Chain A
Amino acid sequence: MGYRAKKAVVAASLLALSTAFETVSKRSPEMRAEIARWNDGRAFAMGVLPRGPAITMRNEGGRLRYAGPGYHDPDVKILFKNVDNALLPLTGRIGADIAFVQHRAALHGEVAHGMQTSRALAIVQTYLLPGFILRRTFKRPPRLSARQWFLKAWVMGTLPFGMAVNFAKR
C-alpha cells in the first residue's frame, strides 16, 4: 500500500473515531463517568506527524464533540510518528497501549490528561472494534452487557451517517 492509500485509511479511521467518540460520549454511562471530571472545553487531538491527518475532540458539557480535522488548540496530543505507525493501532493490529509501548506514538501534554484520554479511547474502541480484535489488543478484553451490545449495534449502525456529517465539517 502506498503512502496516499495509507493516509486515506488513517484519515477515514480517525473520522470514524471522531463519530464514535460523539455517539459513545452521549450514550455510554462509562464514558460519561470517565469525562465527568474533565474541565469543560478540554480538548485532545490525535494525528500523524509531520503533516498527516488529525482530528480534535472537545469536551462540551460532558460530551465529546468533533472540533474538526487538524489541531484546534488541544490540551493533549497523541501523535503517531509516521503513517505506518498510525495504521497499526487504527486498524486494530495493535492496541493503543502497545502503540505507546513500541514508541509508535508520543504524548504531548499533561500525562494525567493523556491517561484519561487513553481510557476514553479504550471505551470507544470497545464499541467500535469487533470482539476478536478486542481480545487481541486489550490487556483485559471487556465483557459486554446486553445494554452495551445494543449500544455497539447503535454505534455501528449510525457510523456512516456520522462520518458523512463530520466529513462535511472539513
Chain B
Amino acid sequence: MIPEYYEFACPTKIISGFKALSNLPYEMSLLGAARALVVTDQGVAGAGLIKRVHAVFEGADGVIGAVYDETPVDSGSEAVRAVADAYRGHECDCLVAVGGGSCIDTAKGALIVLAEDSADLKAYQGAERFNKPTCPFIVVPTTAGTGSEATLAAVIRDEATRTKMALTSYRLFPDVAILDPKMTVTMPPHITAATGMDALTHAVEAYCSLQKNPMSDAFSQAAIRLIMRHLIDCVRNGGDEQARLAMANAALFAGISFSNAMIGVVHALAHACGGVCRIPHGVANAVLLPWGMEYNAGKAGDALAALGPVLGADATVTGAIGAVRDLRARLGELCGLPETLGAAGVEAEQLDAIARVAIDDGSVTYNPEDVTYDDALGILKNAL
C-alpha cells in the first residue's frame, strides 16, 4: 500500500565492485577536486588499507594532501575540529573518509565545520539546520554495517558536555560511495558478525517503521536477502571477496533504507546500551533485534510476517523472529557473538539508566508501537 505521504532521497553515486577503489582519483576529478584529505583511524591504517588508497593515486592527476588517522572509536567534536584544521592547513579540496561509521561521521562533522566556518557543532543539532554547499565528499567503507556511506545523518560526541549530537541534513549525503571488497576483507570475524547484524537491524527496523515507503521497503528486502545469504560466509572465510562485496552492498542498501524510513526501538535501546555500558553497537543490535520484533508484533505484524520469506522462513511473525534468532545463534557458535545483554557485559543495575536514555532517543518516534520507560525496561529485562 502506498503511504499517504513520503519522501525519499539518495543522491550518492554508488561504485561497487572489484578494484572499484581504483576509480577514486577519477571520481575526485569529476567533482572538481585534486587534493584529498583522507579521514581514517589507526585500525584501518594498521591493517594496511591506507596503503591501498595511496597506491591508486600512482599515475593519477589527483593527490592525497594529508591523512588524518586519529579518529577515535566514537567520533567526537575534537576530532572533527582537527580534521577541519588539517583540511585547511594542507589546502585540500575534498574529504575522503576511509573506515567505519566513526570515520565517516567525523568527516561529515568536518563538512559542516568547513561549510559554516564554525566549530560549534551544537548549533547544528537536529534536522536540516545547515544548507550551505559542502566540499566534495567520497566514502570508502571498511566495514559492512553502518550504512553511513549513504545516509544523511551523523552522530558526533560533544566532548565538553559528554553527550552525543545527532545531525541530519541532505547536505551530509556523500557524493560518492566506493564499495571495494578488498577494503573489508581484513575485518575479523566477530566484527564482521556484529556489523552484519547492525545492517540487518537497519533493514528490519526500516521495514517496520512508521516512515516506511515502497522505495525503502525494496532496499530493506534486498539488504536482508544478501545478509541471510552471505553473512555466515564472510564470518567463516573473511577472504571470500564475493561474499564481502555482497555484504558491502547489503549494508549500503540497508543504509539507504533507514536513511529514508528511519529506525525504531531496537536502535533506541542499542544507542543507550552504547552510551551507558559501552556495548558495541552491532552487538547490542544483535541481542535486541528479536526482542524488538516481538515487541512490535502487535502493530507491525503484517510487515514482520512479510519479511519471513525474505529471511528464509515462513510468512509469519514467529517465522521471521525465529530466522533472526537462528542466524544470531549460528554467529554465536562461529565467533562468540553474544545472545544476551548479560553476556555482552550489561549489569542488571544498569537497565534503569539504559531505559531512561532510550526513551529520549529520536528513533522511538518512528517505532510503530509506543515506547514508554516501562516498555523499554521490559524489553531490556527480557534481553538480559
The one of B128, B165, B166, B365 that contacts A100, using a Cβ cutoff of 8 Å: B365
| Complex-state Cα separation, A39 to B370, whole angstroms | 26
Residues of B contacting A110 in the complex (Cβ-Cβ under 8 angstroms) = 122, 125-126, 163, 165
Per the bound structure, the CA–CA distance linking A106 and B262 in Å amounts to 14
Residue of A nearest to B124 (CB): A108
Once the chains are docked, how many angstroms separate the CA of A115 from the CA of B366? 12
Closest Cβ–Cβ distance, residue A166 to chain B (whole Å): 27
Stretch at the interface among B82-90, B139-147, B180-188, B354-362: B354-362
Sorting the interface of chain B by its residue count into under 10, 10 to 19, 20 to 34 or 35 or more gives 20 to 34
Cα(A140)–Cα(B122), bound, Å: 33
List of A residues within 8 angstroms of B299 by Cβ: 139
Are B370's CB and A118's CB within 8 A? no
B101 within 8 A of A: no
Query: Is the pair B127, A106 in contact by a Cβ cutoff of 8 Å?
Result: yes
The smallest C-beta distance from A30 to any residue of chain B, in angstroms, reads 11
Do A109 and B126 form a contact, CB below 8 Å, given A102-B6, A103-B7? yes
A107 sits at the interface (CB 8 A): yes
What chain B residues lie within 8 Å of A102 (beta carbons)? 4-6, 211
Given contact pairs A110-B125, A112-B360, a sample of 7 additional A-B residue pairs in the complex whose CB atoms are under 8 Å apart: A101-B262, A102-B5, A103-B7, A110-B163, A111-B166, A115-B362, A119-B359
Q: Verify B7–A97 contact, CB threshold 8 A.
A: no
Given the interface pairs A101-B366, A140-B369, the reply to whether A111 lies near B210 with Cβ below 8 Å is no
CB of B129 closer than 8 Å to a CB of A: yes
Question: In chain B, residues 369-384, which have Cβ atoms closer than 8 Å to a Cβ of chain A?
Answer: 369-370
Q: What is the CA–CA distance of A112 and B163 in the complex, to the nearest angstrom?
A: 10
**Chain B CB within 8 A of A114 CB:** yes
- Bound form: Cα–Cα A90–B163 in Å: 32
**A104 — which chain B residues lie within 8 A by C-beta?**
5
In the complex, A114→B127 CA distance in Å? 11
In whole angstroms, what is the CA distance A119 to B373 when docked? 12
Residues of A within 8 A of B (CB): 77, 97-98, 100-104, 106-112, 114-116, 118-119, 138-140
Taking the closest CB of chain B, its distance from the CB of A75, in whole angstroms, is: 10
Across the two chains, which residue of chain B brings its CB closest to A81? B128
Chain B contacts for A101, CB-based, 8 A: 210-211, 262, 365-366
Interchain CA distance A135-B360 in the complex, whole Å: 23
Decide if B361 touches A111 in the complex (CB within 8 Å).
yes
Q: Is B196 an interface residue (CB 8 A)?
A: no
Most buried by B among A104, A106, A115, A119: A115
Determine if A114 and B126 form an interchain contact, defined as CB atoms under 8 angstroms apart. yes
- Look across to chain A and name the residue whose beta carbon is closest to the beta carbon of B359: A115
B210–A98 touching, CB < 8 Å: yes
CB-defined interface of B344-361 with A at 8 Å, one 1/0 digit per residue? 000000000000000111
Residues of A with C-beta under 8 A to B370: 138-140
**Taking the nearest CB of chain B, how far is it from the CB of A43, in angstroms?**
15
Q: How far is the CA of A119 from the CA of B358 in the complex (A)?
A: 13
Whole-angstrom distance between the Cβ of A69 and the nearest chain B Cβ:
22
Task: Give 28 CB contacts A-B under 8 Å.
Answer: A97-B210, A100-B366, A101-B262, A101-B365, A101-B366, A102-B6, A102-B211, A103-B7, A104-B5, A106-B127, A106-B128, A107-B127, A108-B126, A108-B127, A108-B129, A109-B125, A110-B126, A111-B125, A111-B166, A111-B361, A112-B163, A112-B361, A115-B361, A115-B362, A116-B360, A139-B299, A139-B368, A139-B369
Expressed in whole angstroms, the Cα–Cα distance for A111 and B165 within the complex equals 8
Contact of A107 among B126, B163, B361, B368 (CB under 8 A): B126
B364 lies within 8 A of chain A by Cβ: yes
Q: CA–CA, A97 to B165, complex, Å?
A: 21
10 nearest A-B residue pairs (beta carbon):
A112-B360, A139-B370, A140-B370, A108-B126, A106-B127, A111-B362, A102-B5, A101-B210, A115-B360, A107-B126
A109–B359 alpha-carbon span in the complex (Å) = 17
- Give the residue name and chain of the A residue nearest to B260 (CB): A103
CB distance from B241 to the nearest CB of A (A): 38
Please, which residue of chain B has its CB at the minimum distance from the CB of A76? B126
Residue among A77, A111, A119, A140 having the largest count of chain B Cβ atoms under 10 Å = A111
Contact of B126 among A97, A111, A138, A139 (CB under 8 A): A111
Query: For B163, what are the chain A residues with a Cβ–Cβ distance below 8 Å?
Result: 110, 112
Are A114 and B5 touching (Cβ within 8 A)? no
Q: Give A140 to B360 CA distance when docked, in angstroms.
A: 18
CB of A146 to closest CB in B, whole Å: 22
Residues of A within 8 A of B262 (CB): 101
Shortest distance between the CB of B257 and any CB in chain A (Å): 15
- Shortest Cβ distance from A102 into B: residue: B5
CB-CB under 8 A from A109, the residues of chain B are 125-126
* Cross-chain contact of B360 among A97, A111, A139 (Cβ < 8 A): A111
Question: What 0/1 readout, one digit per residue, does chain B (1-40) give for beta carbons within 8 Å of chain A?
Answer: 0001111000000000000000000000000000000000
Bound-state CA distance A107–B129 (Å) is 9
User: How near does chain A come to B210, taking the closest CB pair, in angstroms?
Assistant: 5
- Chain A residues in 8 Å Cβ range of B165: 110
